Amino acid sequence: MSQLLQLIVPEKQAYLLSDFLLAQENLPFFTAIDTDGYGQPHEQLSANEQVKGAQHKVKFEVELKDEQLAPILETIEKNLPSLTIAYRVLPILQRGNLGQ
């Protein structure tokens, strides 16, 4: 079964995670999506973010086989310890391509 790993980082840290993911030979494809994160404590937000009520973030989505999940999380934590990364793992119940 495949899993969808979502990695969410502040915008200022996104290029570091992107470069890291691109360097991984066993990850053939991932997406990066601009998003806003709500619910952070105000002291963690800039003045502009406090006015907006959200922090700009980038969400990376990586499709992995079950056996790839633990090793990639360990590798990310070992190699990027200074990044603030929230993550989620979701099952992929079905996948395919439409219109081809």
Query: Residue 98 pLDDT more than 70?
Result: yes
pLDDT of residue 87: 96
- Residue 40, CB-side half-sphere exposure with 13 Å CA sphere: 21
Task: State residue 82 phi and psi, 5-degree precision.
Answer: -85, -10
Q: Are 4 and 74 in contact (CB under 8 A)?
A: no
Amino acid identity at 48: N
35-40 average pLDDT score: 72
Amino acid identity at 57: K
pLDDT of residue 1: 82
pLDDT of residue 46: 62
Domains of the chain: 2-91 (3.30.70.120)
Strand ordering across the sheet containing 54-65: 30-38, 54-65, 2-10, 86-92
